[in-house]
Structure 1
Amino acid sequence: MPGVNDLATSRPDVAKLWHPSANSSAPEGVTAGSSKVAWWVCPKDARHRWQRPITSQVQSGAYCPVCEGRIAIAGVNDLATARPDLAAQWDPSNALAPEEVTTVTSKIVGWVCPAHTEHRWRARVGDRAKGYGCPICSGRRAFAGFNDLASRNPGLAAEWDPANPIRADQVTFSSARKVNWICPNDARHKWLASVNSRNSGGGRGCPFCAGKRIHVGSMDLATTHPDVAAAWDRERNTRTPQQVTAGSGYRAHWVCVVDPEHRWQTSVSNRALGGNECPECSRRVASRIERVLFEALADHLDAPAHGRKVPVPWGPQTAAELDISGSYRGAPVAIEYDGLAWHENRADVDIAKTTAILEAGYFVVRIRQGELPHLELEHPRLLQLDYRYRSGTDDRLALFLQPTVATILKWLEAQTTRSPEPSPTGDVASPADLPPMGEA
């Protein structure tokens, strides 16, 4: 009824969009709830025309769908008119034409890259209008033979784990996707890493071979040195033998496998590479080695002694106890056996004692066990030797020590046939001339 429930009366804002000539009736002749399809026109731009049911337009409000990009009008707001550059990339196989869509539509269509026509993809028109270009050229999508890992870095692709859900030619060489890799040197080494982390810069290799990770079963201490791992203190250590390598600097706690009362702490590398013995047990063995060594040298020395104290002050000490001493061709000789357990991290002490003995006129031999480095000390009357730890009966120890004994005697023979070097106090004194400690 005009003036009561007609469109012009109930929704005058919508009635302003009524096309004055394309409709067969006026706004006063229809209701706001009518399903009749009518023509509408934008009050701002007469080129914007559209058809819509009256009730739908009323529900949407007094807006122009052309202005908002919901309806395309060729030559006004269509893609071909607004963005001819994008329209040129329109895939001709699309069901729609560029003149039938606006720049803000969410319709997904096909596109062809202007730089590489073989690059084809599907994307929303609105996203392309916002600046999204070819995903293949930008590296966001892989294209076999162009930017995929297999093509760009075949050497790295050879390390691709075939168990991955995708192939090396299905990811870009700069992809951030994490996949599994297999070490070319050891197929047991497998790890997870992104493609770009392995492909960028110098490239990251196998973390196991680089020592950054531990492969249980080939690299861990329990596998490579089970005898060392057997002494692992599982109560005090925060790691397990499977979590460290033989070269680790981790200072671990150990329990003697012979006597559980013997406990000590040292780095894994010292135990695995330096010496596998209990320090307490080692001291006892060292005493045996010194005794066997003394017996082997006694026949070649004058006035041989084992454990003799001589009046040579050093540091806070007023005398020096020598493992083995005597004289050779009248020259005083001091031989020290440096066991790993007792002399580890004591280089300064050993240097001080050695210096004092040298200054007293002795020829000095220091036998350094295992991985103990030579003392940073050089002197014409100083000989430093390496000795790898061996255990066994006295006869076996004597056999092991034969090369060491031969080297010492050869060196003493060469040194003492030269002109004798005077001591700081004048003549070189023989140990036999030195009174035992406690005697005047």
Structure 2
Amino acid sequence: MSSMSPRKTPQLCSEPGCGQPAAFSTRTKSTWCDAHITKMLRQGGLEPLEPFTKPKAWRLTRCLACGCEAHYRFEYTLEKNAYGEATCRACYWRQWAQEARQAMGAYADLSPVPEAKAREHAEKNGYDYLSALTTPSFSDDPHHVRCRYCGRLSAARLGDIAFGCQCQTNPRRERQTSKPAGSKQRDLLKDSELPVLDWWDHEHNDVATWETVTVKARREAAWRCPDCDLRFTKRILDMVNMRECPECEPKRRAEWEAQYARYQVTPVADVPELLAAWDDDEDPRTVMVADYGPQRRFRCPRGHHPRLSPHTYLRHGCPSCRGQDTLAERIEAVEIDPEAFGLNAEIAAQWHPTKNGKTELSKVSPGSRKLMWWRNPDCGHEWQETPARREQGQRLRCPECRTILDSLAYHFPELAAEWSPANALSAWQVRPTGQTLFAPAWICSANPDHAWQAALSSRANGSGCPECREHGKSRIELDHWSAAERAFGRASSGQSVRHEAFARRANWLVDITVETAGAQKLAIEYDGCYWHADKTDLDIEKSRDLLAAGYMVARLREHPLPPLPIDDPSYAEFVVYSATPTPDETIERVRAWVSRRDEGAGAQR
């Protein structure tokens, strides 16, 4: 008799005494049925005009007080209800603007805002202008607008309209968008080059932890103080933020406190460095180094005259000199790498060559609020904007074309080449990991007859044409195949191998086959932990058959798969980690092993 899994009990409304099914499920928060959700909306002064979907979804509503139709999230209404405030922003901003004008009295700006000016402002920032929500409309009064991209209705002031709709917010995510397709986005501690790596205790931490742990990990690890050799355990995140030895740190703190106590009774005249720079009217013999009095005047060797405490000058020197040195280092770094301490490369490439006068690009800070001239090399449009504003809000690449920074076309031109012209937006108007209101269409670059739909994040993470891809191969296997092609020049995936030396089968499908520079062929097998957990015997027989046929065999075994009991000079295993795949690094280790094998074989001949 076949067994059936028990039906999941529906979650019920959290309202006491209500036994109706909840409109949405949740693990830790309250949930309600549709009737109680509507009741809560009415409590916030709204009437729903669309069915409920989920708490974070935008839902069209009508204000019961003023009749303004707008989209709000149910979570937003719950928040306002908790404060006893109506949800409708049209009502809120009308009241706010009226109270602000009353507070300003005769200084209030009572110049009406022309509808044509408000319409132009809204359209410039991606909205369709519907109407003013006050008559006449003064400064800070709300306006009714609709986003051209997501269709969301809202009531907003002109200043808020200038930021554009939330759907157009384009946060800077260079680590997520500039990564190679298919790679994992993890900040591994071993690759961080942080000073804390010198404290890592390789003897007491296992290899798996070293290979997979991130800089933000909250697990404890073993550490070894490079000064006193003390071994201790501490959370990785804490050590990354502040390296402290339980034994050395109290000693350093006690030494600093003792030294500071001595400076409290030590005159400036007794410290040669301070006395040489002293330029204050007060007698240095009467002023203590750790003095709580007024700031003192010093003269540094470069002629600066800073005013600061003697103790601060002794510890840090002249602040003007430090600033000049930092600026010089920054300029030098920018000359070597334009993105180091400077504008990101995409914005820097739009620097106008003639309209910025004597201002040098290398000296412009990303946070500068000075208006600069820019020119988009793709369309030729020119405009003025501050570097700081270019990295905020919508982060437009061109304000006239409405293209964005960090777009799919900029980071992944090979994917942009497959972006279908039938899509509502261009590849310059979408982020690689963004979301769209439509399912993006793609056209295969290898075969234009192949067309399909796939999310942006799926493509940015390595998915390809479903009709061209290798069937039966996982993404991670394909990534290692690509790495093998880069390392060896040529590699085959899923090749069927036949040989008279095979004892178990007439043929084997090899994950990756490589023609090496030596006399032997190389077979690379990727053993995933999930699929190979109960295939030890099969993996052993396959390896032995390939070795008997004259192949070198390299098995990439996912941790924690145990090693296979094979002892052969042409066989090697390499531990890999599913959480942090590094195809190029792993294949390079395989290539180094092959090179050593070839060199050893040549020496024997």
Query: What TM-score results when the alignment is normalised by the length of structure 2?
Result: 0.23
Q: Which has the larger radius of gyration?
A: 1
Q: Higher helix proportion, which one?
A: 2
